[in-house]
Amino acid sequence: MKSSSSHDSERIPIYSHKTREVEIVEKIEKTPEEWRKLLTPDSYRVSREKGTEIAFTGKYHDCHEDGIYRCVCCGTDLFDSKTKFDSGTGWPSFWAPIAEENVQTKSDRSLLMVRTEVLCARCDAHLGHVFDDGPEPTGKRYCMNSASLTFVKR
């Protein structure tokens, strides 16, 4: 187990849409009880327990407004609406994150398949998965859960 003092000093680069710069910030770690106090039950289940929304039920799957999608847990800027597209899957989909620094990916072998999980780089919230069947210019489809996101209009 890490001591809290060694983890408290962990600092990572995160891009801020507001300042348009990469800033060095502290990584966020909370106990499950602390996250439960901050999140709705659905947001907790998806972002902290790696759950998934039912297709076409999330509040952002059909959102067409201009703005920034942020992590529901820590507020980190994750996706710009300018990279959002209708994938037909029922989840909000983007062809790129707002900045590579702001997301992490890792192999996910759950549900008897191999996928690439997408996490918030600052707080390790589960956001969704990324696939190689998206549009140009990246060819990526970041298929996210609305319950892991908040939206701020531009």
Contacts with 132 (C-beta within 8 Å, 6 or more apart), sequence order: 139, 140, 141
Q: How much is the average pLDDT of 141-152?
A: 98
How confident is the model over 67-85, as pLDDT tens digits? 999 999 999 999 999 999 9
Domains defined for the chain, CATH in brackets = 4-153 (2.170.150.20)
The answer to whether the pTM exceeds 0.75 is yes
Q: How much is the average pLDDT of 53-72?
A: 96
pLDDT band of residue 7 (cuts 50, 70, 90) is very low
What mean pLDDT is reported for the chain?
93
Q: How much is the average pLDDT of 7-35?
A: 91
pLDDT band of residue 120 (cuts 50, 70, 90) is very high
- Which of 71, 74, 123, 143 is flagged as catalytic? 143
* 123 counts as catalytic: no
